[in-house]
Amino acid sequence: MSVITEPIVDLQGVGKSFTRAGKQAKTREVLRDVTLRVGADEILTVLGPSGCGKSTLLNCIAGLEDYDGAITVHGHPVTAPSTDVAVVFQAPTLLPWRTVRANVRYGLELSKAAPGREWDERVDEALDVVGLHDSADLYPRQLSGGMQQRANIARALAVRPRVLLMDEPFGALDAITKERMQEELQRIVAVERLSVMFITHDISEAIYLGNRVAVMGTNPGGVREIRAIPEPRPRALSYKRSPAFQELYTELWDAL
């Protein structure tokens, strides 16, 4: 396992429980003693079955859930949402009455991450990064699934985050579009120099994208092991057909 000496995101002993209200109140422990680090310019993929707490973990890092233990981003404790951290969910959740440009701008309107005079410049930059500048005046219904997700990513990039949290963002795409988006994400991360935590239940995706793969177990969710992926990025799709890739796939399957 590679060692992260100066983590951008640092989780130490993170736990999370939910309590069901009512006469028969019951507490369910979702996460227990999760310790993870994400380094600079790194994609850490988090792999695990449904129900292991992957999305809950992401929400804790984003400041959307309270938690036990400690989470810091650039050394600052996470107590609430921050413009340093952006989240990309599985569903693009674009506003249908807004154009692509207006949807990307919406993230800036909500976050107030920059003065209004900078918004147009930031939107243009984000659209250029994801390759949607020529589609800026289209509406979501006029976009393919992959283009909608690129618009979703552009909305996150417009606030210029230092950390990008991605919750199965390509899970609903067809196989060909999914692979294209995986290639696109590698390029975006390299250009923007982001630290990324990428949630998935797809072993191939976890290996292909991750500098490291964290494997989570269930009941409650916790990290079983962390595996470094030695293949340098950017990675060609042909890497998925290599013996080294297949060996890693088998090892991670066994770990699950």
Reported pTM: 0.90
Question: Is 49 in contact with 201 (CB distance < 8 Å)?
Answer: yes
List Cβ neighbours of 150 (8 Å cut-off, separation of 6 or more). 130, 131, 132, 181, 184
**Residues in the chain where the model's pLDDT stays below 70:** 1-5, 22-25
**136-167, pLDDT tens digit by residue?**
999 999 999 899 999 999 999 998 899 999 99
Domains of the chain: 9-84+161-255 (3.40.50.300), 95-160 (no CATH)
pLDDT of 136: 94
